[in-house]
Structure 1
Amino acid sequence: MEFENILTENNDGILQIIINRPKKLNALNRDTIQELHDAFLDAKDDEEVKVVILTGTGEKAFVAGADISEFSDFSAEEGRELAADGQAKLFDFVANFPKPVIAAVNGFALGGGLELAMAAHFRVASDNAKMGLPETSLGLIPGYGGTQRLPQLVGKGRAMEMIMTAGMIDANQALQYNLVNHVCEPEELIEFTEKIAKKIMKNSLVAMSAAIRAVNANYEDGVNGFEVEISEFGSSFGTEDFKEGTSAFLNKRKADFPGK
């Protein structure tokens, strides 16, 4: 599939999905959100894709925010539809993606950009990264999950301060806040993230899909995450990956997971 606003590159099972609107600092518009959805949908069904790295073109921006020109004249109802559609198509879709998704945050990750990074399963940042949710400075609030995911990651107090001040934090603050897992030099960002992806790929992707569902269940209203864990744990015993993993362990060899 050909895209206008994103690039994709599969390198031995590691798929890079790159937001490619450098003149707009990779800002998200409707077309880009749709293309990202389509790229993730393709990756979900592609057996050659094991891990996804999500990043932006260049060192200036991961995603500098949403494209404000698209919704500056929206009504309240149109605003609700915008948020609901975006969350369903992209942000929740990424958060619940059955394969590991790592955000490699280069430069600005603001507004919808930070919300997209937070939807990924975890984040690596270059030391020039700047992150924030500036929506209140526009008379808005975050609409793509920011009010929910930021407190989960950094705690209620810090999330409230970030949202209320509309300010940015740098990569080292983000590391201190547990918003990112690692910080590295900009030129090392993709290589560093790929090293983590390669470690992930040594393990059972079937088990990881189950773990993603179990971890996410803890954040769903009305869902008992412990019960989901028990169910997914039990189901793991019926997989070929479990048979291979235990056989490899008992025979003191490296596992070669079939992914089933």
Structure 2
Amino acid sequence: MPEFETLLYEEADGVAWVTLNRPEVMNAFNTVMQRELRDLWRWLRRHDPVRVVVLSGAGDKAFCTGIDRGEAIAEGPRRGRTGRGASDSAGPGASEGGEVRIGSGTTPFMFDDPGSNLGPKSNDLWKPVIAAVNGIACGGAFYMLGEVDFMIAAEHATFFDPHLTFNMAAAFEPLQMTGRMPFGDLVRLTLLGSEERMSARRALEIGLVTEVVPLEELRERSGWAASVIARSHPVAVQGTLRALWAGRELSRSQALAMAWAFVGLGNDPDALEEGQARFASGQRVEWRLR
């Protein structure tokens, strides 16, 4: 198991509890957290005891407030004169006078996106990930929220994108959220920057989150959903997730063309036999109404 400096990790009954643990900066991510999340998602791919993940932030103020502006993380293409006879002595991307070159080296087309390793799907993890949003979620937090499978929010949680308030074009973060909310709501959230925040209640109304609960109930509700999923056969769950995400990201006809493959891969013969025997026995679960 990886060792963590910026994350807390617990594991019980098939559920991994992952907490972004930098409350002193409202759980903003730095390069260490970036690397640790990448390593964690990839390790969980091979760690069979875990079937479901719950992702949250430390404390009660913020889930994540994006990139840690106090640390120099690659920010993508920046405009500036490259200058003739530029020297590398001032460090990568620097030119005479210390001005930053466009992109990486002398080209604007190659750079490291600081959020590219943060999400589970970007690291090919197809175990379900539930976000328990315990406060502010803004900007770079959308790298993670755009790749979780569903969200449960505390009543005081808020969502916004501060980029335009500070004269930065917003691209990667809102694009992560295009399948999460109606287009008009996403445009409004992005263009109004820090001057308007979406409440948890509004997020529920538009389908961004699936449930809103008091903060003190957030862990219990997230844990209940995770425990239900963890009782299902993991291959069937992952096949279902792959199908649903194909439906989100592809055309309907393209996704349907792949459906038989997901069914074939996701139906383990032994597990299927057990499930059919349970159905034939008349055994049924107790259900709850949401």
Using the size of structure 2 for normalisation, the TM-score is 0.79
Tell me if the contact between 1:105 and 1:117 (Cα under 8 Å) persists in the aligned partners: no
What's the CA shift for 1:191? 1.0
What's the CA shift for 1:233? 1.8
Could you list the per-position Cα deviations for residues 209-230 of structure 1 after superposition, in whole angstroms to 9, with x for gaps in the alignment?
0111111113445881111222
Q: How does 1:53-72 map to 2 (within 5 A)?
A: 53-69=54-70, 70-71=72-73
Find the counterpart in structure 2 of residue 161 from structure 1. 188
Find the counterpart in structure 1 of residue 276 from structure 2. 246
Of residues 207, 225, 231, the one that matches 2:255 is: 225
Confirm whether residue 108 of structure 1 aligns to residue 136 of structure 2. yes
Confirm whether residue 193 of structure 1 aligns to residue 194 of structure 2. no
Structure 2: how far apart are the matches of 1:91 and 1:103?
11
The 3 A distance-change label for structure 1 pair 121 and 94 is: farther
Tell me if the contact between 1:101 and 1:120 (Cα under 8 Å) persists in the aligned partners: yes
RMSD across aligned positions (CA): 2.4
Structure 2: how far apart are the matches of 1:92 and 1:49?
14
The 3 A distance-change label for structure 1 pair 237 and 72 is: closer
Letter in 2 for 1:149: Q
Could you list the per-position Cα deviations for residues 113-136 of structure 1 after superposition, in whole angstroms to 9, with x for gaps in the alignment?
133123111000000101112212
Tell me if the contact between 1:5 and 1:20 (Cα under 8 Å) persists in the aligned partners: yes
Find the counterpart in structure 1 of residue 243 from structure 2. 214
Confirm whether residue 151 of structure 1 aligns to residue 178 of structure 2. yes
Q: What is the aligned length?
A: 252
The 3 A distance-change label for structure 1 pair 98 and 46 is: same
Structure 1: which 5+ runs fail to align? 256-260
Bigger shift: 68-77 or 208-217? 68-77
Tell me if the contact between 2:13 and 2:227 (Cα under 8 Å) persists in the aligned partners: no
Structure with the higher helix share, 1 or 2: 1
Letter in 2 for 1:160: V
Structure 2: which 5+ runs fail to align? 79-101, 286-290
Using the size of structure 1 for normalisation, the TM-score is 0.87
Structure 2: how far apart are the matches of 1:10 and 1:16?
6
Structure 1: how far apart are the matches of 2:266 and 2:134?
36
What's the CA shift for 1:138? 2.3
Identity %: 27
The 3 A distance-change label for structure 1 pair 10 and 143 is: farther
Structure 2: how far apart are the matches of 1:159 and 1:208?
29
Tell me if the contact between 2:27 and 2:64 (Cα under 8 Å) persists in the aligned partners: yes
What's the CA shift for 1:156? 1.1
Tell me if the contact between 1:29 and 1:66 (Cα under 8 Å) persists in the aligned partners: yes
Find the counterpart in structure 2 of residue 175 from structure 1. 204
Find the counterpart in structure 2 of residue 258 from structure 1. none
The 3 A distance-change label for structure 1 pair 204 and 238 is: closer
Find the counterpart in structure 2 of residue 82 from structure 1. 112
Find the counterpart in structure 2 of residue 31 from structure 1. 32
Of residues 144, 157, 165, the one that matches 1:129 is: 157
Tell me if the contact between 2:21 and 2:58 (Cα under 8 Å) persists in the aligned partners: yes
Structure 2: how far apart are the matches of 1:194 and 1:111?
26
Structure 2: how far apart are the matches of 1:108 and 1:198?
26
What's the CA shift for 1:253? 4.4
The 3 A distance-change label for structure 1 pair 237 and 130 is: closer
Structure 2: how far apart are the matches of 1:170 and 1:251?
46
Higher CA-based Rg: 2
